[in-house]
Amino acid sequence: MWDRQIPELTRDWRVVRFDLPGHGGAPAQPFTSVAELGDRLLATLDAIGVQRFGYAGCSLGGAVGLDLALRAPHRVASLALVATSPRFGSADEFRQRGVIVRANGLEPMARAAPEQWFTSVFAGAQPAIVDWAVQMVRTTDPACYTAACEALAVFDVREALGRIGVPALVLVGSEDQVTGPAEARTLVAGIADARLAVVPGASHLAPVEQPAAVTDLLIDHFAGTAPDTSGALIVPPLPATPVPVVTAEPAPSAEADGAARPDPYEKGIGLRRQVLGDAHVDQALAADPDGAFQDLVTRYAWGEVWSREGLDRRTRSVVTLTALIAGGHREALADHTRAALRNGLSAEELREIVIHAGVYCGLPAADTALRVVARVVEEETTPPA
């Protein structure tokens, strides 16, 4: 993605490019958060002797830059954030992407990439580059793609932007429908020393569509703001998702003795949203007149039981589905079928769970459950038109 910029940047800087896990032939090592990506990058830079650097990243690569500027400000001299947002879409949107990829592979995402990444004029004039985009998505490791979706589902640094103290160039294509000018302006408003550059005639991958304009902007920015980077410029080459964590807040450090126990409601509401989705939780909360019942559900079921460490989420989904089949709770079964897909269970595994439950819960209950599960799986795994 940065091929047209590298020759000019290397005239004045040592440029270190990196592939995200499972992209461009890089080892397929799934990650759980943007912070983990940042930590891996810092370890690599330590190994090659780079301490302070300017950073340029596009899309998820830009999110890594934001994370580094917040967690390792002594390492980052300046930022160039291309097609980046402090909050990428909604959590449900990205979790849904992961469900679709697990069910259908990457082909639906590969076919959708050109429309999301390029303007129609550019796509029509540059079929070879469009084919590159499609092939790039097809050859990405599916587990790493899904990991990127899960990471972006919880990425939200809007409230932390004021803590970024390095100069930042916020660059966005005028036609970007994924992380467009509105998201860019949010970054500029939040970062004290930030300036906005809108590139005309470009969509999500502005470095590819308008390489000369982007190159000039990068050179001007780094030449003026990063004189102390020891010649290092860090550039991630590819976005991890076709469109496009807050990284999870660190757990409160226990004060040896008498540390306050985390509020089960706060713990529960976060986990409940991750498993069932924001839309479901918001609807449930809105339907409870005084909030007492939903408070009980959130604290007890999610903050106490679902949060226990004895079972992983997949296993808890299996147990929950079996109990709902036994009880004949069809509506809740549908909700938790969606949750099970988010937790990594496949359609085939869901069918096996229902068949096995039928032996012990009754064949009529299993027959009803199979229809519910089949409907939800079809809804959740059918790629958008």
| β-sheet bridge partners, residue 232 | 14
Is residue 277 domain-shared with residue 231, that is, in the same domain?
no
What pTM was computed for the model? 0.69
Contacts of 314 (CB under 8 A, 6+ apart): 340, 343, 344, 345
Q: Which segments of 153-259 are extended strands (E)?
A: 168-173, 194-199, 232-235
The reply to whether 30 falls in a domain is yes
Tell me: pLDDT of 351 over 70: yes
Q: What does the DSSP assignment read for 95-155? A: HHHHHHHHHH-SHHHHHHHHHHHS-HHHHHH-HHHHHHHHHHHHTS-HHHHHHHHHHHHT-
Cα dist from 179 to 87, 171, 271, whole Å: 9, 10, 26
Is residue 94 domain-shared with residue 208, that is, in the same domain?
yes
Mutual orientation of helices 363-381 and 330-342 as an angle, nearest 10°?
50
Which range has the top average pLDDT, 276-290, 310-324, 342-356?
Answer: 310-324
Phi, psi of 172, deg, nearest 5: -145, 145
d(CA 188, CA 182): 10
Is residue 319 domain-shared with residue 377, that is, in the same domain?
yes
Q: What is the pLDDT of residue 257?
A: 40
What CATH number corresponds to the domain at position 336?
1.20.1290.10
Tell me: pLDDT of 331 over 70: yes
d(CA 164, CA 247): 15
Is residue 313 domain-shared with residue 218, that is, in the same domain?
no
The reply to whether 37 falls in a domain is yes
Mutual orientation of helices 278-286 and 264-276 as an angle, nearest 10°?
120
Tokens 């940065």 -> residue: 2
pLDDT band at 342 (very low <50, low <70, confident <90, very high): confident
Domain count for the chain, please give it. Answer: 2
The reply to whether 53 falls in a domain is yes
| Identity of residue 158 | R
The reply to whether 135 falls in a domain is yes
Q: Which of 218, 235, 252 is the last residue before a domain boundary? A: 235
Q: Which of 219, 235, 251 is the last residue before a domain boundary? A: 235
What CATH number corresponds to the domain at position 34?
3.40.50.1820
Is residue 136 domain-shared with residue 272, that is, in the same domain?
no
Is residue 230 domain-shared with residue 354, that is, in the same domain?
no
* C-alpha triplet 33, 191, 7: angle, nearest 5°: 75
Is residue 310 domain-shared with residue 377, that is, in the same domain?
yes
Query: What is the β-pairing status of strands 194-199 and 14-17?
Result: unpaired
pLDDT tens-digit map of 63-104: 999 999 999 999 999 999 999 999 998 888 888 888 888 888
Give the domain extent around 321.
264-381
Q: What is the pLDDT of residue 256?
A: 38
Is residue 48 domain-shared with residue 164, that is, in the same domain?
yes
The reply to whether 180 falls in a domain is yes
Residue 25, classified by CB atoms within 10 Å of its CB into exposed (0-12), middle (13-18) or buried (19+), is exposed
Is residue 222 domain-shared with residue 87, that is, in the same domain?
yes
The reply to whether 79 falls in a domain is yes
Is residue 230 domain-shared with residue 271, that is, in the same domain?
no
The reply to whether 350 falls in a domain is yes
3-state helix, strand, coil in the chain (%, to 5): 55, 10, 35
Is residue 128 domain-shared with residue 271, that is, in the same domain?
no
Share of the chain above pLDDT 90, in %: 55
Q: What is the pLDDT of residue 50?
A: 92
- The mean pLDDT of the chain is 86
Mutual orientation of helices 330-342 and 264-276 as an angle, nearest 10°?
90
Q: What is the pLDDT of residue 80?
A: 96
The reply to whether 254 falls in a domain is no
Phi, psi of 81, deg, nearest 5: -105, 110
Is residue 74 domain-shared with residue 208, that is, in the same domain?
yes
Contacts of 268 (CB under 8 A, 6+ apart): 298, 299, 300, 301, 302, 303, 304, 306, 307
Q: What is the pLDDT of residue 270?
A: 84
User: Is there a contact between 197 and 111 (Cβ–Cβ < 8 Å)?
Assistant: no
Q: What is the pLDDT of residue 385?
A: 58
Q: Which of 196, 220, 235 is the last residue before a domain boundary? A: 235
Tell me: pLDDT of 5 over 90: yes
Tell me: pLDDT of 239 over 60: no
d(CA 150, CA 336): 18
3-state secondary structure 10-64: CCCCEEEECCCCCCCCCCCCCCCCHHHHHHHHHHHHHHCCCCCEEEEEECHHHHH
